[in-house]
Amino acid sequence: MSAIDTTFLRASKEAIASPTDYPQSPLSQALRQPVLLGLFLPIHHGGWSSSTLPRTTDWSFDYNAKLTQKAEELGFDLVFGYSTWQPKGGQGPTRTEAGLDAFIATASLAGITSRILLISTIHVLYGPWHPIHLAKFGATLDHISKGRWGINVVTGHRAYEHELFGWSQIEHDRRYE
């Protein structure tokens, strides 16, 4: 094995270290507490509510930015942006008429916060995402947020989400393989 190969292998092993391997990382600091307090951001019309009644939340970035800043001020540990794919009008009481992309919206909060962890959700089966793209995006966001960004990887949920991309729904355990 050449010196270059050895250097690459050593760097590769270091690159896949967990944030918890670094005691001063934001995640390590948060995990020292007995409980983590998080806020699920209402980045979609209606937020997390499946009610058909009028809501008082707003899906806009400005609204979610204010919520995140308030959560940080109150000592919350993290904010979480969930992801959903639904056509305008959606189906049933959980329809989504407007919303933000969880990956972009949550990452955008890095510049206006200083302590709170920022968790983005991304659907990895929908679209042409290559793992190298996600690694580069993640490394960039980790740098910008000073170690406060994290990713929630999902593979979709409802059949109509898969159908939006021209797929038939794949069984849950098979999707995660």
Give me the pLDDT at residue 23, please: 85
Edge to edge, the sheet with strand 38-40 lists 38-40, 78-81, 117-123, 149-154
Cα-based distances in Å from 123 to 10, 67, 108, 145, 176: 31, 24, 18, 22, 11
Here the tokens at position 111 are: 């510049």
The pTM score is 0.78
Q: If 0-12 CB within 10 Å is exposed, 13-18 middle and 19+ buried, where does residue 103 land? A: buried
Give me the pLDDT at residue 9, please: 47
Superfamily of domain 21-176 in CATH is Luciferase-like domain (3.20.20.30)
Is residue 79's pLDDT more than 90? yes
Here the tokens at position 25 are: 């990382």
Sign of CA dihedral 144, 109, 16, 75: positive
The answer to whether residues 95 and 137 touch, using CB atoms and an 8 Å cutoff, is no
Structure confidence by residue, pLDDT tens digits, 34-61: 889 999 999 887 666 666 777 788 889 9
DSSP reduced 3-state for 117: strand
Q: Spell out the domain ranges in the chain.
A: 21-176
Here the tokens at position 59 are: 């899906």
- The gap between the terminal CA atoms of the chain, to the nearest Å, is 32
Phi/psi-derived region of residue 129, left when phi > 0, alpha when psi is between -120 and 50, beta in every other case: beta
